[in-house]
Amino acid sequence: MIRWRDPRAPLAAAAAVGVAGLAAALAAGGRSLVIGTIAGVITALVAAFSLLMASRAMTAHRPGAVGARWLAGGALVWATGAGLRPLAESSGFVVNFVDLLVLVGVVVLAAGALMTARRQLTARAVLRRLVDAYLCTAALFIIGWVVVLRDVYADVAESPVFTFTLLPPMICLLVTCAVAPAVIMGRSTSWPIGLAGVGALVATTVGELASAVSRLGGGEPPAWSMALAPVALLLLAAVPWSGRTGRVVEADAEDSRPDAGGGVANLLALLPLALVGAATIVLLAHVAGGRDRSPVSGVVVVAASVVLILIVRLFALLTANARMRHLVALGDKQLRELAESTGDVVLICDYEGLVHEIGQGVEEVYGYRQSDVVGASIFDYIHPEDVPGIQAALSALVADEDGVEPGACLVACRVRASDGTWRPTESVATRHVGGEELLLVTTRDVSDQEALRNQVVHLTFHDGVTGLPNRAYFEERTREVMEGRVSGRTAVIFLDLDGFTSVNDSVGHASGDYLLGQAARRLRGAVRSDDTLARWGGDEFAVLVETEAQSAVDLAERLVRAVSQEPFRVADRDIALTASVGVAFAEEGVPSADLLRNADVAMARAKELGGRRVEVFAAHMHADVVRRLELAADLQRALMENQFAIEYQPVVDLATSRVTAVEALVRWWRGSVFVPPDQFLGPAEDTGLIVPLSEWILREACREVAAWRASSWDIGLSLNLSARQITAPRFVETVSQALEESGLPASALTLEVIEEMLVEDAEETISRLSELRALGVRLAIDDFGTGYASLAFLRQLPVDMIKIDPSFVSGLGRDETLTLLTRTIVRLGHDLGLIVVAEGIERPEQLELLREMGCTRGQGFLVARPMAARGVDSLMRTSLQSAM
């Protein structure tokens, strides 16, 4: 619905009045030229005004607004020429300035229509459209000549008059034919305006042609020809206000789509040739009729030009076709050369697998001659197991024949070489090769890649030293077996080589790896073929067996014997090793990771018990490990919270009953609960917490004893050393610093080591103790006589004291052998000039015998129990005579 304030209202009213007036004038018998001119001027002005107003509303679409302004300008110029034409008819000129104004108006209208279509044409496209427009114009001229114009030409006395009179409408026709296809194929928002502009061009061209013909004939143009332009201009005035052209463009890409569809584009491309064909048929029919055989120069020139243009176009098309064929052939050649240079085999076959052509690479890669393969089927060379997959892939290509793009598929298969070996390959098959129902297949031999892939997989899941499966493979294999196991028939065995660390230290890691290889071969010979043997890591091996419980234990015993039955020959020397073995059995609800952990715990238990033995996992073992871990955490917390205390056990001179020294002993009160030393010293040693704990004991005891010595009490201090403490990086510096800070003389400090520590890492231990001896610190061998060390260590290490183990003292007076051994140790100490201290004196007869043997010093519950520092202070003021 149009409102009266809408600018379209006066336009619609003016158009209605104009149409009514034109119809009334023609019905009254008025001159068609005058009436048509007045109607044309009015409708042109209405169209110009409408287009100008519409351009102001099309601010969001600049091409449409600019095109509308150009159309408005063309309508005004055309209206000026059309309005002045009746006045110029009396001038007598064939072509006057009014015709030029009309022609300029048509050109401006064409430019405006082209702008609204927003067509971006290249120079080659512009040239092609101009040539097509000329062909259409020439073809229409020839058809018009045969139908109408030849008779008009015969009535005109002068041919130049005929030519110049028809020249403006022919130019209009040429412009219309050049612009119309571009506008029709446009799809911008303002496309309807451009299409209406083309309609105005067509109507104006037809009207100009009719006016020219009537002018040559001396009459007035027909009424219908004068009505075409006003009607077309009214349509041009109304189109900008349609709903579609009023919308704002949302995307430029939508505005500039080159073609609406392939069908319309093809019809427009064939239209010039169709018109030329129609003109040729009409002209031949005219000539065959035998009428007017004398040729007209202008028509001959036009026809000759059309033929020449078609010949040039055909030559250009043939040249482009030859060039395209050359490019296709060159591309095919380059593709083949590229494929051959990469080592691929290129072949062409049909969908049935019949080889039509094959490259030279087939001889180099697979050993076949080209002539042997051409004509054969590819399925004759593909592994039978892979044939169904290849056939399915080819069937999928056939089923997808309707696809626009050439289809391709990637297939992997094994191809038989001339030597009979099967080579893994990867092939790409592409259909529609050369426009034929053939397949282009490019085949690559991936034997090296497959071998490398297998090698990577092997290295990923196998150990490089022993060649056995590694930990990752063993864990995965255990999970697989556990998922389908029979309860009670699956077991994991862990084996650790005892003392292997010393092998690396003595003969080097390379020789150690060689020994591991020998051990792996021995273990492989001891297990069954269906058992899984793997190197777990370091010097540990793991075996997964599926058998009865007793058979698994028997296998564990065989593994121990396989390792220890004879020495390993490494670096021209024999190395004897033993093994610690742990066995764990699968239980219902126990995951594979816990099964592996249990076997490891059992192996660690076997190692703690001295090695060369088999331990079967029991639940308490894991509980012990958990307790040890918890105890280690509590130890660390106790160090931070100062939960430890020191008690001192006096060491007395057995002859005078005088306290000569005290032995510092650590005590741990976890809250109000006393933790015995034998429960936490072992975990402290294992976790390394013994080092900071021993340093704290050293500093505190040195400070306390130094304070007693400052009170004129000549007393010494004894401390036990641990293995980790001795091998700590700054052990000697720590002792020296503690003595310096406390002011305790080095000679007042006695450090005790057990005989076992002199056996393990003897060289490093003796070196560290010798450094301590150089500081002036005294050294003592604790628990002497237990048999771990030989007497040669007394010569290598200058000790000052030996302490008889309590196991000897406990048998004094009751066991003649122990009494004899104790007497021997006392006599040995005297002969070597060492101080002899007896530990564990608990009965009076033990004390009497030791005095009778000549033992100089002793300690034990009979002499004095361990006591806090306050107890030692009171002891300084009392005598121990009554206690003895």
Q: What digits encode the pLDDT tens for the residues 259-289?
A: 445 667 777 778 888 888 887 888 788 777 7
Alpha carbon distance 116, 187 (integer Å): 9
pLDDT at res. 529: 87
Q: What are the φ and ψ backbone dihedral angles of 667, each rounded to 5 degrees?
A: -130, 145
Between vectors from CA 280 to CA 274 and to CA 284, what angle results, nearest 5°? 150
Of the candidates 265, 336, 296, 291, which has an alpha carbon nearest to the alpha carbon of residue 142? 296
What pLDDT shows up at residue 883? 40
Q: Minimal CA–CA distance to 240: which of 206, 194, 208?
A: 194
- Amino acid identity for residue 445 in this structure: D
User: What are residue 428's DSSP bridge partners?
Assistant: 410, 442
Residue range 424-443: mean pLDDT, rounded:
79
3-state secondary structure of 542: strand
Rounded to two decimals, the pTM is 0.46
Cα gap 45→474, rounded to integer Å: 95
* CB burial readout 852-870, b (16+ within 10 A) else e: ebebbbbbbebbbebbebe
Instruction: Give the lowest-confidence range in 295-299, 352-356, 599-603.
Output: 295-299
d(CA 789, CA 802): 13
Contact predicate 737/764, CB 8 Å: no
pLDDT at position 422, please? 92
Q: Which two tokens stand for residue 815?
A: 């066991």
Residue 246's pLDDT is 46
Q: Token pair 């250009």 is at which residue?
A: 316
* 683 neighbors 632 (Cβ within 8 angstroms): yes
Q: Which of 357, 539, 550 is nearest to 436 (CA)?
A: 357
Flag whether pLDDT at 199 surpasses 70. yes
- Phi, psi angle pair for 430, to nearest 5°: -120, 135
- Cα angle, residue 79 at apex, residues 74 and 82 outer, rounded to 5°: 125
Q: Please check whether residue 246 is in contact with residue 192, taking contact to mean a CB–CB distance below 8 angstroms.
A: no
pLDDT at 778: 92
Cα–Cα dist 630/650, whole Å: 34
Query: What's the CA gap between 119 and 125, in Å, rounded?
Result: 11
Determine phi and psi for 544, rounding to 5 degrees.
-110, 120
CA distances from 608 to 537, 611, 787 (A): 19, 7, 20
Tell whether the model's pLDDT for residue 730 goes beyond 90: no
Q: For 296-311, what is each residue's pLDDT tens digit?
A: 777 778 778 888 888 8
Residue 238 and residue 82: Cα distance in Å, rounded? Answer: 21
In whole angstroms, give the CA distance from residue 197 to residue 572: 107
Q: Give the residue from 228, 227, 197 showing the smallest Cα distance to 74.
A: 197
Mean pLDDT score of the chain, rounded to an integer? 80
User: How far is C-alpha 624 from the chain's CA centre?
Assistant: 45
In 3D, which of 143, 135, 213, 205 has the Cα closest to residue 170? Answer: 205
| Mean pLDDT comparison of 230-244, 443-457, 703-717, highest-scoring range | 703-717
DSSP code of 149?
A: I
User: What Rg do the C-alpha atoms of the chain give, in angstroms?
Assistant: 58
pLDDT at 495 exceeding the cut of 90: yes
Q: Name 429's bridge partners.
A: 409, 441
CB atoms within 10 A of CB 167: 15
Q: Give residue 3's pLDDT band: very low, low, confident or very high (50, 70, 90).
A: very low
Per-residue tokens: 500: 């292997």
| Alpha-carbon span 172 to 207, nearest angstrom | 10
Report d(CA 524, CA 531) in Å as an integer.
9
- Residue 858 backbone phi and psi in degrees, to 5: -160, 165
Residue whose pair of structure tokens reads 């033995």 in the numeric block: 613
**Running DSSP on this structure, what letter comes out for residue 436?**
S
The span from the CA of 10 to the CA of 418, in Å, is 92
| Interval 144-172 mean pLDDT | 75
Mean pLDDT, residues 630-639 taken together: 79
Tell me: pLDDT of 73 over 50.
Answer: yes
Contact between 51 and 75 under an 8 Å Cβ cutoff? The reply is: yes
Q: Is 2's pLDDT higher than 60?
A: no
Taking each helix axis from N to C end, the angle separating 223-238 and 32-57, rounded to the nearest 10 degrees, works out to 10
Instruction: Determine the Cα–Cα distance for residues 450 and 287; give it in Å rounded to an integer.
Output: 79
Q: With contact defined as beta carbons under 8 Å apart, do 356 and 374 qualify?
A: yes
**Largest interatomic CA distance in the chain:** 173
